[in-house]
Amino acid sequence: MIDWMGLHGNHLHEVEERHQLHSEALLAYKAMQLSAINDGIDLQLVSSYRSFDRQLAIWNNKWNGGATLYDPLGQPLVFETLTDKQKLFAILTWSALPGASRHHWGTDMDVFDYQRVKAWGEPFELVTAEYEGNGPCAELSFWLSDNMESFGFYRPFDAYTGGVAAEPWHISFKTTAETYEKERNAKALLQHLQSANISGLSTIEACFTEIFPRFVLNRGTL
Ligand SMILES: [Zn+2]
């Protein structure tokens, strides 16, 4: 059975000290990285495989006010003013439910230009502005648009359509990711969440039929 909820991690290989990728995505990633470096772009991983438990920790931290929440354009929200439903939708715009992150698959990764970010010297926050205009990862973003497809990668969060916010840094190894996409199902996900120690469960349950297609499948609303 395919481990689409990040429960076991048997499909993974170490890439670097802190990173793991799906064995099928590893060589393609390495080849793409080498090509980028040859073009003067220091393509490196910010985030790669993430387990269910790691995503659960991220989720619970956000639900309980431990991190700033943002609107779809990246503007910070005032936590205290949000209803539980608003909080749910705000978190889902930028973070997946545990069990529903594409990072569970090892096929998906967030990338940045390490050398340019280091030279830039400001705190790196993985926000859109860093990947546009004069941002330190703007050249990387152009390079990805021009080249990633030939290595089998694409951007699953290319544009905001009412689901997950646009994430120019998030790329996916398409052929393998598609086998995971087909496995996703609402019932199994909800059942697993009900057995986990997740904050906001009653709100998640009440909105589940809406949030599954909108955010998990990222069909959006537009
Ligand atoms: Zn990502």
User: What residues sit around ligand 1, an ion, with C-beta below 5 angstroms?
Assistant: 110, 170
Check: CB of residue 3 under 8 Å from CB of residue 11.
Answer: yes
Alpha helices, H only, 72-185: 84-94, 114-120, 138-147, 174-181
E strands, the chain, in order: 12-16, 19-22, 43-47, 108-113, 153-154, 170-173
* Separation CA 4–CA 106 (nearest Å): 10
Q: From the CA of 83, how far away is ligand 1's center (Å)? A: 26
Q: From the CA of 119, how far away is ligand 1's center (Å)? A: 23
Check: CB of residue 70 under 8 Å from CB of residue 168.
Answer: no
Q: From the CA of 81, how far away is ligand 1's center (Å)? A: 27
Provide the 8-state DSSP code for 123.
P
> What distances in angstroms separate CA 185 from CA 105, 211, 215, 216, one per listed residue?
15, 12, 13, 10
Q: From the CA of 173, how far away is ligand 1's center (Å)? A: 12
Q: From the CA of 172, how far away is ligand 1's center (Å)? A: 9
Strands 108-113 and 19-22: unpaired
Q: From the CA of 110, how far away is ligand 1's center (Å)? A: 5
Q: From the CA of 47, how far away is ligand 1's center (Å)? A: 7
pLDDT, one tens digit for every residue, the chain (222 residues)? 789 999 998 889 999 889 999 999 999 999 999 999 999 999 999 999 999 999 999 999 999 999 999 999 889 999 999 999 999 999 999 999 999 999 999 999 999 999 999 999 999 999 999 999 999 999 999 999 999 999 999 999 999 999 999 999 999 999 999 999 999 999 999 999 999 999 999 999 999 999 999 999 999 997
E strands, 68-169, in order: 108-113, 153-154
Q: From the CA of 108, how far away is ligand 1's center (Å)? A: 7
Q: From the CA of 109, how far away is ligand 1's center (Å)? A: 5
- Is the backbone of residue 28 left (phi > 0), alpha (psi -120 to 50) or beta? alpha
Please choose, from the candidates 97, 96, 128, the residue with its C-alpha nearest in 3D space to the C-alpha of residue 112. 128
Q: What is the pLDDT of residue 79?
A: 96
Q: From the CA of 111, how far away is ligand 1's center (Å)? A: 8
CATH class, domain 12-216, is: alpha beta
pTM of the entire predicted model: 0.95
Q: What is the pLDDT of residue 11?
A: 86
Check: CB of residue 43 under 8 Å from CB of residue 127.
Answer: no
Check: CB of residue 116 under 8 Å from CB of residue 80.
Answer: no
